[in-house]
Structure 1
């Protein structure tokens, strides 16, 4: 079995070289070296800032505080658009913008990074969080509180597309913002997004959540049918996202004073459907990346983040229900990760395996970041609320007392 503390230290150590650019955190190759063929991505910089904030709170590596501060400076600096506001999707190593599109996905991670930075006491994180929440609320939520997937640089227009992936990570970000700031309105905004996409759309589709929508949120079931292995917008159902949503619903359930019962019911259903259509669906161990709408595998590659989210979801369901079956699944997923994904030779986890669980590089090259692996090891064993950064900052009892204290 994996020793989560030792593995978190190993992952954080692997990720240290990614801070080589003053513009942010680099994409890493198989050996943990910065990949100069990639720009500095906002989503990677934000995710690594989040990880190093947690690593600082845990004491995983001695330089974690400095690395988290590096990320906060980059997000407040080269990756931020001083003219129009918001954050570029990516910049070159010397800080020049690459493209003009601004993505809700990346902005959600900026909120997460800033929230974790605030909890870890990183200088500048408070101001970054205030700004990021303002940008997201003003520009990336529509009048119904649903996520606007992308905008042009001036934040005035964007693609005729809405997506479940950016919405999911916005829920994650709002949970963190609500816990760190003490403002329960962020939890309610997260609940509204989840209620629409999961209790509404996913439930109506037998919990095979459509990922892609037009501007009126009508599902586009054939979207990217000619690109089934897209890393961010694949065709069909993505079992890994069902697992990720399952866990997020349980965090919401633990965070809300009057949580609706459907949160736990839908979390169970999502997990069961993900296992049914995704786990060993082609006769080989592991989760397939995507399935068609009749439940058959489409992209049979095994991605590390899916196994990480399976581990975290099983742990969360066991924590919430106490049922042994979920702990059995947690152990099964952990065994799979230890056997097939953990790279003891070069470090980190293999980000992609083929259908026979051999290292592969069809969708993902290298080992871009450690976000999914690092936090899954913690999420599988820690309480469901508050978010990890707040749990690591203060005892559970102190947080409960602070949450229950009337706001001035």
Structure 2
């Protein structure tokens, strides 16, 4: 049974209690799922343009395939026609051409489509999403999903988890040699999400312990001592790489500087882990709530309305001055998810105000009512832009933001959705 604390804390006047708002969230989620269905390719899924067509010369992308599999597996559990077939297609691709049959693990795409040595590296970021997809597909009873989950989780544990450090290693050469001299907050953040899913789906509490250790390192130690401004880039000796990718400020995964959208994404993950620990262990560190509040406040202060226009920008430098003023859609999605989570956890009206304000921004600026989907990025003046993200490849962030407000903080996403309509 899901924890009930959230529903008790939410004020009667909250949008989260409004039947009209909840129907609106469902409608927006359905629109997103419908728009992204055309991302299916012969193998896996590929990126879409702004009109919802596969981009020219589209190739299967393993991260997109994992995210689509996760999304459509859960949509299928909710009774959305076509979704289970799409999730089945994704599981088959992850067990087929996108998997390295010789050395194990997953490529970024089909080997023939990968032109550089960097593209062929085995990345923790990708493997975390394969594990997440497999766990959601297992809950949805997709054929082959449980086998995929067992294989992916075992490999993820043996290759990427560092028991000594309490974090996930970043990347390796295709044959698992040549570990990268890097420790990244981004891939470890998404690993926390996947850890909580695996813990619930496989009834394996060790994964919640690992999620807590990751959070302790990156947030309770490193970010807390930096006023909750999350530093992203470290070497294997945990030296901060303050100039990392200074020449690549618009990199889509490892941009120079700090990413306020990640501050708020960590914020709601901490509350979800707190709820999971309370539900399963009966206790959780009190600092999880304290740190969650600190992260949200730091993220909104560093990133929101920095140019006199609403919205959360992409990156700031080490002094928290804006670097990339453009506003990715996922930053807004994670901010509203964090506001909703803090509202459920505390009942404080400030988070209701933020939740409404962020949705107002998205509704008036990012939801594309003509072509479908969400605009993936706006510039500083809130005009459509493609500096960091081209087209409309991402379903995962926007779609989850339409469901997360409807869910309790625990259990993990797929199981909570299964229970939502039961």
Question: Would you say how many aligned residue pairs link Structure 1 and Structure 2?
Answer: 393
**Whole-Å separation in 2 of the counterparts to 1:221 and 1:27:** 32
8 Å Cα contact 2:407-2:420 kept in structure 1: no
**For 1:286-310, what per-residue CA distance to the aligned partner results, in whole angstroms no more than 9, with x for missing partners?**
1111112222211100100000001
- 40, 50, 56: which is aligned to 1:30? 50
Aligned to 2:59: 39
**Whole-Å separation in 2 of the counterparts to 1:100 and 1:227:** 20
Aligned to 1:405: none
Secondary structure of the structure 2 residue equivalent to 1:54:
helix
**For 1:372-407, what per-residue CA distance to the aligned partner results, in whole angstroms no more than 9, with x for missing partners?**
0000111123100111210122369x9xxxxxxxxx
Give the C-alpha shift of residue 270 in structure 1.
0.2
Q: How does 1:302-381 map to 2 (within 5 A)?
A: 302-381=327-406
- 90, 94, 106: which is aligned to 1:75? 94
8 Å Cα contact 2:46-2:64 kept in structure 1: yes
8 Å Cα contact 1:281-1:296 kept in structure 2: no
Aligned to 1:138: 158
1:168 aligns with 2:193: no
**Whole-Å separation in 2 of the counterparts to 1:124 and 1:87:** 16
Task: Give the RMSD, CA atoms, in angstroms.
Answer: 1.5
Give the C-alpha shift of residue 35 in structure 1.
1.5
Secondary structure of the structure 2 residue equivalent to 1:367:
coil
Give unmatched runs, 5+ long, in structure 2. Answer: 1-20
Aligned to 1:112: 132
Give the C-alpha shift of residue 265 in structure 1.
0.5
**Whole-Å separation in 2 of the counterparts to 1:201 and 1:259:** 20
**Whole-Å separation in 2 of the counterparts to 1:87 and 1:384:** 30
Q: How does 1:5-404 map to 2 (within 5 A)?
A: 5-19=26-40, 21-60=41-80, 62-91=81-110, 99-144=119-164, 145-256=166-277, 257=281, 258-394=283-419
Give the C-alpha shift of residue 282 in structure 1.
2.0
Give unmatched runs, 5+ long, in structure 1. Answer: 399-408
Higher RCO (CA-CA < 8 Å; seq separation 6+): 2
**Whole-Å separation in 2 of the counterparts to 1:344 and 1:64:** 22
Structure 1 pair 205/38, CA: closer, same or farther in 2 (3 Å)?
A: farther
**Whole-Å separation in 2 of the counterparts to 1:264 and 1:39:** 42
TM norm structure 1: 0.93
Give structure 1 regions of 4+ aligned residues with deviation exceeding 3 angstroms.
95-99
**For 1:51-104, what per-residue CA distance to the aligned partner results, in whole angstroms no more than 9, with x for missing partners?**
1011111223x1001001000100111110000000001227xx7555421100
Give the C-alpha shift of residue 7 in structure 1.
0.8
Give the C-alpha shift of residue 369 in structure 1.
2.1
**Whole-Å separation in 1 of the counterparts to 2:313 and 2:417:** 33
TM norm structure 2: 0.90
**Whole-Å separation in 2 of the counterparts to 1:391 and 1:309:** 18
8 Å Cα contact 1:315-1:381 kept in structure 2: no
8 Å Cα contact 1:11-1:348 kept in structure 2: yes
**For 1:135-179, what per-residue CA distance to the aligned partner results, in whole angstroms no more than 9, with x for missing partners?**
110001123231111111011223221111000011110011111
**Whole-Å separation in 2 of the counterparts to 1:311 and 1:55:** 21
8 Å Cα contact 1:290-1:300 kept in structure 2: yes
8 Å Cα contact 2:59-2:113 kept in structure 1: no
